[in-house]
């Protein structure tokens, strides 16, 4: 359908559309660019929080009494003293625009134990490979859903995450930070066809693309 549309679209409009896409990706990379000076000045957790929230993600701080996601960028910037000595323990990147360009911010998050990627449209294999290279010691919960730029290569790379013993979770456990400190080691290979099928039928999502979720069926195929 897209190729047919391009054939019928005047060349000037095609060129304009192509330029717009390049401009958008360029701007997105700027918003994801790593500021190493800021990491040194503010500390890795505060700097990472700015990057994440600026790009539509949210975090959970170690000092929070509840486990609600924090995404107040204005408060983060205007009341810095509130976050002194705080550590990021959770990230929810649902529908955010983060991409691999900014993943270096994650390298020094020593307390990060939970990451959710859901409809994170710029998440790709390179980002997951970088995540594996960092070998975050406390990471116990990783969830990837509806991220269509992730291929078999990225999924297979997750096997290189530091080997830990999965903690079984009973059906009556709560899905909170204390009860889900594990990563499923029984990873499944996705395929372009399967990803496309899920994209076309989002209500019939393949459970095999979910990692670290309560009640997920981890039986092999």
Hey, where are the domains in the chain? Answer: 24-209
Coil, helix or strand at residue 88? strand
Distance CA 51, CA 49 (A): 5
In the predicted model, what is the mean pLDDT of the chain? 74
Distance CA 126, CA 106 (A): 14
Distance CA 105, CA 93 (A): 14
Note the CATH number of domain 24-209.
Answer: 3.80.10.10
Coil, helix or strand at residue 92? strand
**Regions of the chain short of the pLDDT cut 50:** 1-9, 11-14, 163-193, 204-221
Distance CA 8, CA 28 (A): 29
- φ, ψ of residue 32 to 5 degrees: the values are -100, -5
- Helices first, then strands: H and E counts in the chain: 8, 4
Distance CA 176, CA 67 (A): 8
- Token pair recorded at residue 118: 């859901």
Summarised one tens digit per residue, pLDDT across range 23-82 is 777 888 999 999 999 999 999 999 999 999 999 999 999 998 777 899 999 999 999 889
Contact of 179 with 141, CB cutoff 8 Å: no
User: What is the reported pLDDT for 195?
Assistant: 54
User: What is the reported pLDDT for 179?
Assistant: 33
Nearest by Cα to 47 from 37, 62, 55, 58:
37
User: What is the reported pLDDT for 184?
Assistant: 37
- Token pair recorded at residue 52: 């994440």
User: What is the reported pLDDT for 18?
Assistant: 64
pTM: 0.69
Dihedral sign computed on CA atoms, order 82, 84, 89, 92: positive
């Amino acid at each position: 359908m897209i190729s047919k549309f391009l054939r019928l679209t005047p060349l000037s409009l095609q060129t304009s559309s192509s330029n717009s896409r390049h401009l958008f990706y360029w701007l997105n990379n700027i918003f994801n660019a790593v500021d190493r000076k800021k990491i040194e000045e503010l500390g890795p957790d505060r700097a990472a929080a700015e990057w994440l929230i600026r790009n539509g993600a949210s975090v959970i701080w170690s000092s929070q009494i509840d486990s609600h996601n924090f995404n107040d960028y204005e408060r983060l910037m205007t009341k810095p003293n509130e976050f002194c000595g705080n550590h990021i323990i959770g990230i929810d990147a649902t529908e955010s625009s983060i991409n691999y360009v900014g993943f270096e911010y994650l390298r020094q998050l020593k307390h990060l134990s939970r990451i959710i990627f859901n409809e994170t449209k710029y998440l790709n294999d390179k980002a997951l490979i970088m995540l594996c290279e960092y070998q975050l010691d406390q990471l116990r919960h990783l969830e990837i859903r509806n991220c269509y730029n992730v291929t078999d290569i990225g999924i297979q790379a997750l096997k290189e995450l530091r080997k830990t013993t999965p903690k079984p979770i009973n059906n009556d456990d709560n899905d909170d930070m204390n009860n889900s400190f594990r990563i499923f080691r029984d990873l499944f290979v996705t395929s372009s066809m399967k990803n496309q099928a899920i994209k076309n039928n989002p209500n019939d999502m393949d459970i095999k693309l979910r990692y670290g979720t309560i009640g997920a069926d981890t039986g092999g195929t």
